[in-house]
Amino acid sequence: MEINERNIVKLIRELDNLKKHGSYPTGFNLFEAAGMVRQEIRHSNFLSFLLDPRKPHGLGDQFIKKLMLRAATINEAKDVAQLSTLLGDFDDLVVAREWNTTQSKLRIDIVAWSHQNQSVFVFENKVDSSAGATQLADYEELVLQHDNFRNYKKTFIYLTKNGEDPDEVSWLQISYENVIEIIEEMANENKSVLGSDLRIAINHYVDLLRRNIVGDESLKAECSRIIEQYRDVLDFIYKNAEQVGTGADFKKASEKFRDGAGEQIKELVSKPTQYAFIPVPLYTIIPDCMGTNYWGQTKPIIMWFYLRGDNSLGLILEVGPIPDPNIDRLRLVESLQNVFGRKRVVSDTYSRVWSEYVRLDDEPDAEMILVKMNGLWSKFKETHLPQVVEVVEPFFSKKSADAF
């Protein structure tokens, strides 16, 4: 498409029409007005309201039961011990926000327990960020050691934007899209029970999640059409826009990091908020894997810096797809997990085995980002890289490499 004023104006009109999309049933959203969009505390407050059977919503214990059913379905590979929840009566469920003990400074987002069912449910809620390195393990230990819950059946639920895999194998993953499905299902099944004020609140909350957290499939399709039709115009805007702002600072920092690292790394891909590379000690022992297209290259293990929207910078080590059956990908991932003392469910395609994040200033410049990059890389290189190389090498020995 020709890049001219007429086509840019057409693009602007298309984007303006998105505001009239069906995903935006109300111009005003009461939760947005309350500043709730990405405040985990306020999301947890509303979810706690729905969980508590004694709150004036008329839903009783339906929310906890539907949550457990959905969690069991999603996490079918795990032993979900509380399917008895579907049969029990949880009208005595006590729901506590920011739960803690006098012996600990830790605060858990939501803890709910039923004495008559000897059950406790623990929720960690993450909207944009991820759990800290040992956060889930620490929370689990706190609940396991608590005298009041010692003989209770325990369920740990990790709620995230996209159903992120928890670091701890005993935690169940669930996404905000699942929450939307459950809330809408309850609303449809209880039309005669819900008051008009609660129906409005539920509609606005679902609207909030779709607009700001999980997205809407029909809206995504419309966006895809616009991107395809106006790709040349968008590329032009993108290339010019990236010359300023945080994306430009990240790119400058990435270039300086590359130059400073020199022969220590092999650069792969550079984007406004992501910079991917492979440490040379890994690059030299990992052959190109036929059938693998991971970030546009064929090495199945990579690292990258990620500038997250909450002004934090992370360094990530991940194992991507390995189509070759001669490579035992599952055992490779599990062996790398052991290096870092982590145990999590291994996906078939992308498995994050290690990550570490640091905070940045509200308006970080290139120099600050570079300092944090160097710090994360130096720590990984000195503390973990030798062990990672030692673990990885046997999986890509000459015997295995012959299959490529």
Domain boundaries along the sequence of the chain: 30-212, 246-401
**45-55 pLDDT, tens per residue?**
788 888 999 88
pLDDT at 238 over 90: no
Residue 351 confidence (pLDDT) = 83
pLDDT band at 18 (very low <50, low <70, confident <90, very high): low
Across the range 15-44, mean pLDDT stands at 52
The span from the CA of 38 to the CA of 41, in Å, is: 9
Give me the residues paired with residue 265 across strands: 279
Which phi and psi (to 5°) does residue 256 adopt? -70, -35
Across the range 133-160, mean pLDDT stands at 89
The span from the CA of 349 to the CA of 113, in Å, is: 36
**302-339 pLDDT, tens per residue?**
999 988 766 788 999 999 888 888 888 899 999 999 99
Rounded percentage of the chain residues whose pLDDT exceeds 70: 71
Quick one: DSSP state of residue 337? Answer: H
pLDDT at 243 over 50: no
**For residue 94, what are the CA distances in angstroms to 21, 81, 98, 294?**
40, 20, 13, 47
Q: How far is CA 184 from the centre of its chain?
A: 23
**102-116 pLDDT, tens per residue?**
778 888 999 999 999
pLDDT band at 346 (very low <50, low <70, confident <90, very high): confident
Does the domain spanning 246-401 belong to CATH 3.30.1460? Answer: yes
Residue 80 confidence (pLDDT) = 61
Is 300 within 8 Å of 404 (Cβ atoms)? no
The span from the CA of 66 to the CA of 64, in Å, is: 6
Across the range 15-31, mean pLDDT stands at 50
**213-233 pLDDT, tens per residue?**
555 555 556 555 666 676 676
**246-275 pLDDT, tens per residue?**
567 888 899 999 999 999 999 988 877 889
pLDDT band at 403 (very low <50, low <70, confident <90, very high): very low
pLDDT band at 23 (very low <50, low <70, confident <90, very high): very low
Give which of 213, 224, 297 is closest to 36, Cα–Cα.
213
Give which of 99, 215, 91, 81 is closest to 148, Cα–Cα.
99
